[in-house]
């Protein structure tokens, strides 16, 4: 298992040190950190990194709020409980490409129902900010259920007696939520945030289907894909891959350091 | 029941309905789109005026979609089978045996599952190109297993922990061989967990777009998500909206029905090991 993942990474590291373009295979040469230099000095990389971070932060924070509401709802709801749980799994299981296309057609000025519904005339995917909105909307739609389920699992661990005791002592619903429920859910919230942040950072499918990275919506995964597959520049593309890998590791380390989150403990080691 | 309580109950009910509608909206939309005859596609209405199945017959008349469907089903099923089978043994070992590096194996599994796929697409592309695995079934099954094997190990380890393992000791006392104890006692106990892992692994492989887009090029291994994303119309100015919608509905129906049936298992698998600190 380690071999299957570690070998390609090592190979990517190796390739990233060469000038290696499949359209000009004869010009293969060792260039040291030259590829990294060209990536790190290019506006495309930093722009896409900013885009990716914006999408990640935007969607994960909306998901956290919506997911929490949804978790509370599922925790309390007796009405249509089964239907509710089944319904929220639908976004999770639908192929991302299909979900992205469905929303794309919905927002499309020609085929869509969104413009007539709000009586506006907006080419959503032709402008940067509205395209970002649609991307974040899809991401939120698709992954809030996962967030909600993780939070719900944490919510069920909050002892009910504690909440009753607080209620008897005269704490309002808000006070009970913010003073008791939230602090006790801290580990669950952190795990959910970490999972979703890492997941959102590698966003590819939705952006690819919606804009193919046009209108300044390129994410780091899209940049990597274009360098590797569209332009067949293995050296440069591998450098991008390695940098994305390093970004993901730093995010994980940041989470673990900043919040004192122990993956092992959080991850179910009893 | 007092008035305040009634209002609260009503609020929860409305909330549930809103959530259900929100979750199902895009599915309803793409279904309605797929049923609109061509001349209605651009009318901007949510529902079709005169539903027709013309796009469905168009999708099956084209060679692309049936081939992609077959590839998707075959590749996802094989990847699921192989990774769940291997993960079963690995997780059993992790849960039952005290060996050094248990924690390490699990930590590695989690980090690989969280790992950005784009980082290995480039090297794989080059390796597959050189070894002839490019655009073949194994060429996709292998990278899927990189991700589904850790995922399966992770889920199974979490679920296997809840099993009363002493039962197999009892079987051993009664004279069963280790293999018999495993096969006749443990496997039936573990089957629900294995099934859960299989569903989630299948959904991962079924969903993947990046690997399939990068590592295939023709109908011989191209999977459904890629086929749908790269569907082309008769001319390049004619985006085949209707066919895309019909194909989308066809690949969504099995997944949605599986969810309705296995809802409880999927929830258990998704949250497996996430909170039981």
Query: How many angstroms from the chain centroid is the CA of residue B143?
Result: 15
A246 touches chain B (CB under 8 A): no
CB contacts < 8 A (A, B): 272
| pLDDT(A96) > 70 | yes
pLDDT tens, position by position, A67-91: 888 888 888 766 677 778 788 888 8
pLDDT for res B90: 83
Distance, CA of B264 to CA of B262 (rounded, Å): 6
The answer to whether the CB atoms of B272 and A241 lie below 8 A apart is: no
Mean pLDDT of A211-225: 76
Tell me, yes or no, whether B96 and B13 share the same domain: no
The CATH number of the domain where A212 resides is what? 1.10.3720.10
Domain that holds residue B23: 1-52
* Domain span including residue A252: 2-266
The reported pTM is 0.80
* B28 and B103 part of one domain: no
Same domain, B25 and B83: no
Between the CA of residue B168 and those of A77, B162, B173, B175, what are the distances in Å? 40, 14, 9, 11
Clarify whether residues B159 and B238 are in a common domain.
yes
What is the model's pLDDT at position B275? 46
The CA–CA distances, whole Å, from A11 to A16, B88, B123 equal 8, 29, 6
Asked if residue B196 is part of any domain, the answer here is yes
Q: Residue B251 domain-assigned?
A: yes
Q: State whether B43 and B154 are in the same domain.
A: no
Taking the C-alpha atoms of residue A267 and residue A192, their distance in angstroms, rounded to an integer, is 11
On whether both B26 and B119 belong to a single domain, the answer is no
Q: What is the mean pLDDT of each run of 10 residues along chain B (277 residues)?
A: 72 82 83 77 71 76 79 87 87 76 73 74 78 79 83 81 77 84 79 82 84 77 79 56 81 81 77 53
pLDDT at A250 over 70: yes
Work out the mean pLDDT of chain A and round it to a whole number: 77
- Taking contacts as CB-CB distances below 8 angstroms, the residues of chain A near B229 are 97, 101, 208-209
User: What's the rounded Cα separation, in Å, for the pair B39 and A63?
Assistant: 38
**How does residue A3 score in pLDDT terms, banded at 50, 70 and 90?**
low
* Disruptive mutation site among A48, A75, A104, A105 for chain B (greatest number of B CBs within 10 Å): A105
Residue A267 pLDDT class (50, 70, 90 cuts)? very low
Pair B15, B63 in one domain = no
B218 lies in a domain? Answer: yes
All residues of chain B having their beta carbon less than 8 Å from the beta carbon of residue A260 are none
Flag if A244 and B119 touch (Cβ within 8 Å): yes
Mean pLDDT of A1-7: 60
DSSP 8-state class, residue A180 = I
Q: Are residues B48 and B107 in the same domain?
A: no
Same domain for B41 and B123?
no
Q: Considering CB atoms only, which of A82, A153, A244 is closest to B274? A: A153
> How far away is chain A from the Cα of B158, in angstroms, using its nearest Cα?
7
Report the pLDDT value the prediction gives residue A251, as an integer from 0 to 100: 83
The angle, 0 to 180 degrees and rounded to 10, between the axes of the packed helices B137-160 and A2-15 is 130
Q: How many domains does chain B have?
A: 2
Say whether both B246 and B123 belong to one domain: yes
Q: How far apart are the first and last CA of chain B?
A: 39
A118-139 pLDDT per residue, tens: 767 677 777 777 888 888 888 8
Q: pLDDT grade, residue A263 (50/70/90)?
A: very low
In the numeric block, which tokens belong to residue A260?
Answer: 């004192």
pLDDT of residue A270: 29
Distance separating alpha carbons of residues B207 and B226, to the nearest angstrom: 10
Per-residue pLDDT tens for A151-202? 888 888 888 888 888 888 888 888 888 888 888 888 788 888 888 888 888 8
- Domains in chain A, number: 1
Q: Give all strands (DSSP E) within chain A, no chain letters.
A: 18-19, 29-30
The enclosing H or E element of A162 equals helix A160-168
Which one has a higher pLDDT value, A39 or B11?
B11
Instruction: With CA atoms as reference, report the closest residue to B155 among B106, B189, B210, B203.
Output: B106
The reply to whether residue B258 touches residue A15, judged by beta carbons under 8 angstroms, is no
Angle between helices A128-155 and B241-270 (to 10 degrees): 30
Whether B122 sits inside 8 A of A15 (CB atoms) is: yes
Domain membership flag for residue B276: no
Do B39 and B85 belong to one domain? no
Kindly report the CATH number assigned to the domain that includes residue B145. 1.10.3720.10
Residue B69 CB neighbour total at 10 angstroms: 18
CA distance B132 to B128: 6
| Same domain assignment for residues B13 and B59 | no
């Amino acid at each position: 298992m380690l071999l299957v993942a570690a070998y390609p990474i090592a190979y990517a590291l190796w390739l990233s040190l060469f000038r290696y373009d499949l359209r000009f295979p004869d010009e293969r040469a060792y260039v040291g950190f030259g590829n990294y230099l060209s990536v790190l000095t290019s506006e495309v990389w930093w722009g896409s990194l900013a885009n990716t971070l914006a999408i990640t932060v935007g969607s994960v924070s909306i998901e956290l709020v919506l997911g929490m509401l949804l978790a509370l709802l599922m925790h309390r709801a007796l009405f249509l409980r089964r239907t509710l749980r089944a319904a929220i799994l639908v976004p999770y299981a639908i192929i991302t490409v299909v979900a992205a296309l469905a929303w794309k057609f919905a927002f499309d000025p020609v085929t869509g129902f969104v413009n007539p519904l709000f009586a506006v005339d907006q080419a959503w995917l032709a402008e940067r900010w509205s395209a970002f909105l649609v991307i974040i909307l899809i991401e939120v739609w698709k992954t809030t259920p996962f967030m909600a389920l993780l939070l719900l699992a944490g919510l069920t661990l909050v002892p009910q007696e504690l909440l009753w005791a607080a209620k008897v002592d005269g704490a309002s619903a808000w006070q009970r939520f913010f003073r008791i429920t939230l602090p006790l859910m801290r580990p669950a919230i952190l795990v959910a945030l970490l999972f979703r942040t890492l997941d959102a950072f590698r966003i590819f499918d939705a952006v690819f289907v919606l804009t193919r990275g046009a209108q300044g919506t390129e994410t780091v995964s899209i940049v990597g894909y274009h360098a590797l597959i569209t332009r067949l520049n293995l050296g440069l593309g591998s450098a991008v891959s390695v940098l994305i890998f390093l970004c993901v590791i730093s995010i994980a380390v940041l989470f673990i350091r900043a919040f004192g989150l122990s993956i092992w403990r959080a991850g179910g080691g009893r | 029941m007092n008035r305040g309580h009634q209002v609260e109950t009503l609020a929860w009910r409305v909330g549930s309905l809103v959530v259900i509608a929100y979750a199902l909206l895009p599915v309803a939309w793409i279904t309605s789109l797929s049923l609109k005859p061509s001349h209605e596609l651009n009318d901007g209405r949510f529902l079709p005026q005169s539903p027709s199945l013309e796009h469905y017959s168009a999708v099956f008349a084209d060679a692309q979609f049936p081939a992609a469907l077959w590839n998707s089903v075959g590749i996802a099923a094989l990847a699921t089978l192989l990774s769940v089978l291997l993960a079963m043994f690995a997780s059993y070992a992790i849960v039952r045996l005290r060996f050094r590096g248990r924690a390490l194996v699990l930590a590695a599994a989690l980090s690989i599952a969280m790992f950005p796929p784009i980082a290995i697409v480039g090297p794989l592309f080059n390796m597959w190109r050189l070894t002839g695995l490019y655009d073949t079934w194994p060429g996709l099954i292998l990278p899927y297993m990189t991700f589904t094997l850790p995922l399966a190990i992770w889920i199974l380890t979490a679920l296997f922990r809840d099993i009363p393992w002493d039962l197999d000791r009892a079987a051993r006392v009664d004279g069963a061989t280790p293999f018999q104890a495993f096969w006749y006692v443990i496997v039936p106990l573990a089957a629900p967990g294995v099934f859960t892992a299989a569903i989630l692994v299948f959904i991962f492989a079924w969903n993947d777009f990046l690997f399939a887009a990068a590592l295939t090029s023709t109908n011989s291994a191209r999977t459904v998500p890629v086929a749908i994303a790269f569907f082309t119309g008769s001319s390049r100015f004619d985006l085949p909206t209707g066919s895309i919608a019909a194909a989308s509905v066809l690949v969504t129906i099995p997944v949605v029905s599986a969810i309705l049936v296995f809802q409880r298992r999927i929830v258990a698998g998704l949250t497996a090991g996430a909170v039981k600190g």
